[in-house]
A and B are shown apart, each in its own frame.
Chain A
Amino acid sequence: MISAEHAITRTRRDLVLGTAVKWTLLSTAVLAVLLQPILGPGSNAATALLFVVGAVWIVLTYRSMRSSRLAADSSSLIAAGQFDAAEQQIAQGVRCFSISRMVKLMNLHQLAMLRHAQNRWEESAALCRAVLRQKAAEQSEMGRSSRLMLAEALLELGDLHGTYQNLVKLYEQRLTLREALNLLGVQLDYMARIGAWQAMLSGLPQRVELAELLPTMQAARAQALLALAASRCGRCDWARWLRRRVELLVDIQALCAQRPMLWELWRSDQ
C-alpha cells in the first residue's frame, strides 16, 4: 500500500525532474538549430541531435499518456468500490515518470479520492493539500474537486475553521452542477455542526430540489439535516415532510450511525 507521504514526496521530485527534463530538451533543440550553420554544411550532428530530442520527447509523451490512462481507469475502479485494484493502478501511476505536470498531479488526486472513499480523512486531506499547492491545479476541475474533498475531510476531522476557509474559496469559483451538489452536502453538514439553523433554511425549496439529484445516501443526509434545521426553527410542516422523504430513501439506523445528531428527528417516536 502506497503511503500518502511517499506519494507526495515522489510526485514533488518527479515534478522538479520533469521540468528540468523539459527545459533541457527544449534548450538542446534550440541549440542544435542555432549550431547548424556554425558546424558547417557537411556536418549532420545538429540533425542527429534534433532527432534524439524528438525521439526522447515522443517516448516521454507516450509514457505520460499511459500514466494518464492509468489515472483515468482508477476513477471507475474507485466508483465501483474495487479499492485494491484502484490502489495498484494508482501506485503504478505514481511510480511512472511523466513530463506532464497535470498527469503527475492527476495521480496524486486519484490517490486522494481513493483515501477519501476509504474514509482515511487525514491522508486524504494531506494529498488534497499537496495537489492544491500547485498553481497549475488550483483553478482547474481537479483543483475544485480536491478542495471539495479537503473541505469534507476537514469536517470529518473536526477542523471547522479549515472547512470554512475551503468553502469560501469554492464560492469564489464557477462550479459545475456536480460540484455544486457536492458543495451543498458539505455546506449543510458544516452549517449543522455550527448550529446555523436559520441560514440552512434559506432558499429551502431550491436546496431540496438540488438535494434530490445527489446519490441516495447523500440526498437522504442533506434532507435529514434540512429537516433538523426546520424542526429547530419551528417549521414542523417542513420537518415532518422532509423526515418522511428520508424514511422512504434510506435505513434510518444507517443514516443516524453516520450523523448521530439526526437521532433528534426520530427520538419522539422511540
Chain B
Amino acid sequence: MEQTTQPPQSQFLDVAAMLEQSLPRPAPLRLWQVLGVFLLVVMLSTYLSSRGGQLAATVSALSALTMMGLLAGLVALSMTMVRRARAEQTQLVAIEELVRLRRWPEAAGMLQQMLTRPTRTPQGRAQALIFLTAVLARYNRFEDAIAVQNYLLQTTPLDGGTAHGLRLARVMAMLREDHLFDADRAINELRRQVTRAGRARDEAAAELAGTEPQEPQDPQSLSAGLALIEIYRDVKTGHPAEAIELFNQTLATLREQLGHRVADAWALVARAYDMLGRDAEAAAAYEKATLLQPAVELHRRYPETTTLAEKYLAATAPGPPQGGAA
C-alpha cells in the first residue's frame, strides 16, 4: 500500500500554474441569453404571423420548429453539463481514495491532470486543492502546501469543519518548516476559534435542554488535532514536560477523534519521555505508537522521532497466517 515518496517528474505539481489554470471558466451560455433568444423568436413570429397570408403560415411552422430546436438544444446542453460534472465528481472520489490509501504518485498524477485545466465547478476545484495540500505535504513541499492553504482560506468559502482541518494542516506544515513564530500565532487563533465553537455548542445544547451551559472546556480537549499540534510544538521547542502533561490530559479526545492516528501522539510523547531521560516510559510509548502505525511512517511525519528507533524496540506485526488463510 505504501508507495515511494519521490515525485514522478521534476517540475511536477507547479502550484502557481495549477492555481491559475484550474479556475473554472464562466459558462459559455447563460440562462438569460437562452430566454432572450426564445423571446426574440416568439416576438418575431408573432409580428410576422400578424401580417397574414402565405408568409404567416410559413413563419408559424418555422417558429414552431425553432422552438422545438431550442428546447432540444437546451436538453442536450444540460445533459452534457451534468455528464461532465459527474465525471469531475468521479475523478475527485478517485483522488480521495488514492490519498486515503497513501498511493501518492497516482494521486499526484491525477491532481496534476485535473488542476492544469479549468475545473467544472468552484467546489470541485476547492476539494481538489485540499487533496493537493495533502500530497504536497507528503512530498515534504511544505512551503507549497502553505501557499495553497493560505489561498483556500483567503479566497474560498469553506464550512467550519473543513476550514478547521485546513488550518490545522497549515500549522503542521509551518512547524515542519520551522516557522515557529507563525505557527504559535496560528495556534493561538485556533484555540480562540475552538473555544468559541465549543461555547456556542454548549449554549445551544443547554437551551435545548433548558439548563445552564457547562463550564467551558480546554480547546485541546475539544479538538484532538489542536492537541496533537501543541504536543508537537512542545516537543520541537524543547518543552517535553508540557507535551507529556497535555498528552495525559487529552488522551481520551485523541483516541476518539484521531483513530489510528493517535499513534502520532504516542510517538511524540515517546520522544518527550526520551528527552527527559525516562527511558522505560519512552520505550512503552514508542511500542504503542508502532503497534498502531509503521515506525517508518511515524519517522517520516515527525523527523524528531527518528532517534527513537535506535534506542527502543518497535512493535512488529505477526507474519501472515498460513495454510490458505493468508
Contacts and interface: CB of A to CB of B under 8 A. Distances in A.
Interface in B258-295: 258-260, 262, 266, 288, 291-292
Contacts of B318: 235, 237-238, 241
A21 B261 CA distance: 52
Contacts of A202: 324-326
Contacts of B324: 202
A204 B320 contact: yes
Interface residues of B, number: 44
B293 to A, nearest CB: 8
Interface in A42-82: 42, 44, 46-47, 50, 76
A244 interface: yes
Q: Is the interface of B mostly helix, strand, loop or mixed?
A: helix
B56 interface: yes
A248 B256 contact: no
A219 interface: yes
Contacts of B100: 177, 213
B50 interface: yes
Contact of B42 (A47, A208, A230, A249): A47
Given A212-B260, A219-B259, A238 B321 contact: yes
B255 A41 contact: no
Interface residues of A, number: 40
A5 interface: no
A258 B262 CA distance: 22
Interface stretch (B3-11, B59-67, B166-174, B303-311): B59-67
B301 to A, nearest CB: 15
B8 to A, nearest CB: 22
A110 B292 CA distance: 34
Nearest to A237: B318
A103 to B, nearest CB: 14
A215 interface: yes
B56 A204 contact: no
Given A33-B68, A177-B97, A241-B318, A216 B325 contact: no
B67 A219 contact: no
A201 interface: yes
Interface in A1-51: 29, 33-34, 36-37, 41-42, 44, 46-47, 50
A176 interface: yes
Interface of B: 1, 42, 45-46, 49-50, 52, 56-57, 59-61, 63-64, 67-68, 71, 93, 96-97, 100-101, 159, 208, 255-260, 262, 266, 288, 291-292, 315, 317-321, 324-326
Given A202-B324, A203-B326, A248-B266, 12 more contacts: A36-B60, A41-B49, A41-B60, A47-B46, A50-B67, A76-B159, A84-B208, A204-B326, A208-B317, A212-B259, A216-B259, A237-B319
